Amino acid sequence: MSAFSTAWQFWALMAAVFAAATAILAKVGVSDIPSDLATLIRTLVVVVLLSGIVAVTKQWRPLTSLPGRSLVFLILSGFATGASWLCYFRALKLGDAARVAPLDKLSVVLVAVFGVLFLGERLAPVNWLGVALIAIGAWFVTWR
């Protein structure tokens, strides 16, 4: 693997590319079915795909061998993910993908704030400027 493909920046950019594809594909997919059913179908695909990846890469471990704290936070994260996906698909059903997805990305702003408040992370003034610009950009995208 190249140095770039082992860097967090590479994987963050790939996540952005796939998130963009998700918005466009989901907008088309949710057009003729209820948004909650669309979310369930997407979730089942994710479960099957990740089960295969974990099996092939031999990452599977018995749940009893995992730290309890990790399990609790991953379960809570799963609930948050489910709620996020349900809301996202409902928004896609009702609105334009070009407006829904950028507004959804206000999560970037919230992650920065929560990271500082709850995880003790620090951002430089230039980082806060970037966070503010994301918030302002998301606001502009909501205009008609």
pLDDT at position 60 is: 94
Distances (CA, A) of 55 to 30, 47, 62, 74: 30, 12, 12, 19
Calculate what percentage of the chain has a pLDDT beyond 70. 99
**Are 60 and 123 part of one and the same domain?**
no
- Please report which confidence band the pLDDT of residue 1 belongs to, taking 50, 70 and 90 as the band edges: low
User: How many domains is the chain partitioned into structurally?
Assistant: 2
The domain in which residue 122 lies consists of 105-144
**Are 122 and 73 part of one and the same domain?**
no
Which distant-in-sequence residues (6+ apart) come within 8 Å of 91 by Cβ?
Answer: 100, 103, 104
**Phi, psi for 106 (deg, rounded to 5):** -60, -15
pTM over 0.85: no
